[in-house]
Structure 1
Amino acid sequence: MPRKEGQKRKLLVLLQILARETDERHPLSVPQIVEKLKEKGIEAERKSVYDDLNTLNEMPDFPYEIMQKRGRGGGYYMTDAPFELAELKLLVDAVYASKFITARKSKVLIDKLGQFTSCYRQEELNRKVLVSGRLKSTDEKILYTVDALHAAITAGEQVQFKYCDWNLQKKMTPRHDGQLYRVSPWVLVWENANYYLIAYTEGRLKHYRVDKMQAVHQLPGTTREGTGEYANFDVNAYMQQMFGMFNGPLKKVTLQCENRFAGAMIDRFGTGPTLVPCDDGEHFTMMAEVQVSPQFFGWVAGFGTGVVVAGPPEVRAEMKKTLDRLQDLYR
């Protein structure tokens, strides 16, 4: 009997049909599967399709299961996909919310994520997460910048780049007349929907916003510096100490807070600091290491009278001075 066309790829095409065109709500009967195989240039008999379905289920390394739904409107469908739908929605939300991913690249990535579930479920991924005031990047080169930085970190080599700022014409212009920065990259962190590089340079660890880095080049043959400093470096503590990723002198600051702000303090500083109830029963105090900056004072002021800098005296005095300056501006 002559061999029918497309038999070598029939099993693979059958798997693709099950993955993309079936789920528990949309099973396919064997006649429907035969017709879909035919549409893809593969002639198949019903018996051979039953055999192929059994073959897939009996494969020891096959990570999914093909189930049969009996009764009217029944058929076969694939139970598990590489990602659960909830997992894909979480990834899609992260892509939508990320400032550094352009709108065009966001659509490309979400379309690719949609290939990991059925076409019916993919429709549920076509939703937008609204993030107030969030502007998407217009520069797709940041993806390649992140890749170059990861490669340098993995290789243990230094990088060089130009570091930029926005000007009044809404264009990125290099700092210091285009001077090249040369640093030893250690880790990338994601904070406030932006990527930051923490690197060793000038005898200490500093951070740089990745979307402001241009012309990033890995320097083959160089050796990354700052091993000792990074070995004693706590990334999480570093991120908790800073506000708006602005540096400042590191101080142990005592805050007196209304009880209703306990959650806000835990969200910001984690569960490490001890919340000590005050005698009035309506407030608590806590101590945290903070890089004191105008952004920190602005964060405290955002709670109104609900959060007060109780110490140390020099930080409390600087807070008062900042508020006095603001009051003068609005007289």
Structure 2
Amino acid sequence: MPKGTNQKLKLYYLAKLMVEKTDDNHYLTMPEIIEELAKYDVSAERKSLYEDIKTLEDLGIEVLKEQEGRNTLYHVGTKKFELPELKLLVDSIQVSKFITEKKSRALIKKLMDLVSVHEAAQLQRQVVVQGRIKAMNESIYYVVDDIHKAISSNSKITFEYLQWNVKKEMVPRKEGRYEVSPWALTFDDENYYLIAFDSVDEKIKHYRVDKMRSIKLLDVKRDGAEQFKDLDMASYSKMNFGMFGGKTTEVDIEFNNKLVGVFLDRFGKDIHIISAKKEGWSQTRVEVAVSDQFLGWIFALGRDVKIIGPSEVTERFKNEIAELIKCYE
């Protein structure tokens, strides 16, 4: 058999063919493999293909063979990602508000390249990115990468922090640049946040990553090691509703028992719950940053929730409600 013009790429095309065309439910016979390779102008014989398949396995591509009557069927077995795992990743990309629609589609396309064309069709059916509010900052990947570089190199950073104006334009919040010591990245309320230490105000602050621009690493070591030494990021996220800060306070709350799941979802299963005096109600104490967002969360739960202490928090909540009523008078 005369050799094809792409004979040197025979192993590459064989690997490409097996990964793209076969999976646990789709197979190729040896004649079909030879026919498919010919489309790439690669000639092959059975004996040489047996050796090539062994070489693929040495390279980490598992090729399984099954007997069906007189036919031997070949397909790729274990892959880096199983289809259910990729579906989970696709779903995560779709619901991530901080990833732009353009980047979402590009990432999903790359994930589809990891499976056969048949399995990719199943992923394609899941790609429904319509009507979802996604971030518009295409540079978010590079911002995140720069933040990680700063954290690993123990460096401070400067950046512009943006906000929307009434003309629907993203503009800097202030003249000049922010300077902070980055310590962690976290995901909360469908957004990506930088957790950092502000040396001027001597406090921990957080910033929406999709609103950061023009990051520069400084040749200055970070501050805030003492403040972050014992900081539990999971607890920190629970306390700060939507990453809006406020004075951290232990708050006593009564709630109707039907809302127990709401409190466990928000604060975790470690919170202490006791019976309240009112039948069918319970009581808990949680540590939160008392912000407008926390009070708004309480307000949204309606009559089935009541703040019972401390007094300064209950008074603030009552005053907020009174001010809100005035808006409608």
TM-score (norm 2): 0.92
Match of 1:108 in 2: 106
Q: Deviations over 1:192-224 (max 9, x none)?
A: 2211111111222111111111111112x2211
Q: Secondary structure at the match of 1:14?
A: helix
Closer/same/farther in 2, CA of residues 267 and 33 from structure 1, 3 Å limit: same
Gaps of 5+ in 2: none
Match of 1:19 in 2: 19
The alpha-carbon deviation at position 24 of structure 1 amounts to: 2.1
* C-alpha distance in structure 1 between counterparts of 2:95 and 2:69, whole Å: 43
Match of 1:301 in 2: 299
The one-letter code sitting in structure 2 at the alignment partner of 1:36 is E
Q: Deviations over 1:264-295 (max 9, x none)?
A: 10110011211112244411101000101111
* C-alpha distance in structure 2 between counterparts of 1:128 and 1:283, whole Å: 43
* C-alpha distance in structure 2 between counterparts of 1:174 and 1:55, whole Å: 56
Whether the 8 Å contact between 1:185 and 1:197 is mirrored in structure 2 is yes
Q: Deviations over 1:98-152 (max 9, x none)?
A: 2222222111111101111111111111223568x74112221111111111111
Match of 1:192 in 2: 189
Q: Secondary structure at the match of 2:204?
A: strand
The alpha-carbon deviation at position 72 of structure 1 amounts to: 8.0
Match of 1:95 in 2: 93
Whether the 8 Å contact between 2:28 and 2:75 is mirrored in structure 1 is yes
Match of 2:289 among 285, 288, 291: 291
Aligned positions of 1:179-328 closer than 5 A: 179-201=176-198, 202=200, 203-219=202-218, 221-328=219-326
Whether the 8 Å contact between 1:259 and 1:284 is mirrored in structure 2 is yes
The one-letter code sitting in structure 2 at the alignment partner of 1:200 is F
1:36 maps onto 2:33 in alignment: no
Closer/same/farther in 2, CA of residues 325 and 143 from structure 1, 3 Å limit: same
Moved more, 272-281 or 88-97: 272-281
* C-alpha distance in structure 1 between counterparts of 2:71 and 2:258, whole Å: 55
* C-alpha distance in structure 2 between counterparts of 1:206 and 1:69, whole Å: 63
Aligned positions of 1:151-162 closer than 5 A: 151-162=149-160
Whether the 8 Å contact between 1:27 and 1:74 is mirrored in structure 2 is no
Q: Secondary structure at the match of 1:211?
A: helix
Aligned sequence identity (%): 38
Q: Deviations over 1:274-323 (max 9, x none)?
A: 11122444111010001011111110111111111111111111111111
The alpha-carbon deviation at position 244 of structure 1 amounts to: 2.0
Closer/same/farther in 2, CA of residues 73 and 26 from structure 1, 3 Å limit: farther
Q: Secondary structure at the match of 1:67?
A: strand
Aligned positions of 1:166-181 closer than 5 A: 166-176=164-174, 178-181=175-178
Q: Deviations over 1:178-197 (max 9, x none)?
A: 31111111111111221111
Whether the 8 Å contact between 1:162 and 1:213 is mirrored in structure 2 is yes
Whether the 8 Å contact between 1:196 and 1:209 is mirrored in structure 2 is yes
Whether the 8 Å contact between 2:66 and 2:72 is mirrored in structure 1 is yes
Gaps of 5+ in 1: none
Whether the 8 Å contact between 2:63 and 2:74 is mirrored in structure 1 is no
Aligned positions of 1:77-96 closer than 5 A: 77-96=75-94
The one-letter code sitting in structure 2 at the alignment partner of 1:17 is L
Query: Deviation above 6 Å: which 4+ runs of structure 1?
Result: 1-4
The one-letter code sitting in structure 1 at the alignment partner of 2:323 is R
The one-letter code sitting in structure 2 at the alignment partner of 1:285 is Q
The one-letter code sitting in structure 2 at the alignment partner of 1:187 is A
* C-alpha distance in structure 1 between counterparts of 2:294 and 2:95, whole Å: 24
Aligned positions of 1:60-139 closer than 5 A: 62=60, 64-71=62-69, 75-126=73-124, 127-129=126-128, 134-139=132-137
Q: Secondary structure at the match of 1:222?
A: strand
TM-score (norm 1): 0.92
Match of 1:47 in 2: 47
RMSD: 2.1
Match of 1:9 in 2: 9
Closer/same/farther in 2, CA of residues 4 and 295 from structure 1, 3 Å limit: closer
* C-alpha distance in structure 2 between counterparts of 1:174 and 1:204, whole Å: 22
Q: Deviations over 1:38-74 (max 9, x none)?
A: 11121101222233334444x3x63634232524886
Closer/same/farther in 2, CA of residues 103 and 72 from structure 1, 3 Å limit: farther
The one-letter code sitting in structure 2 at the alignment partner of 1:44 is A
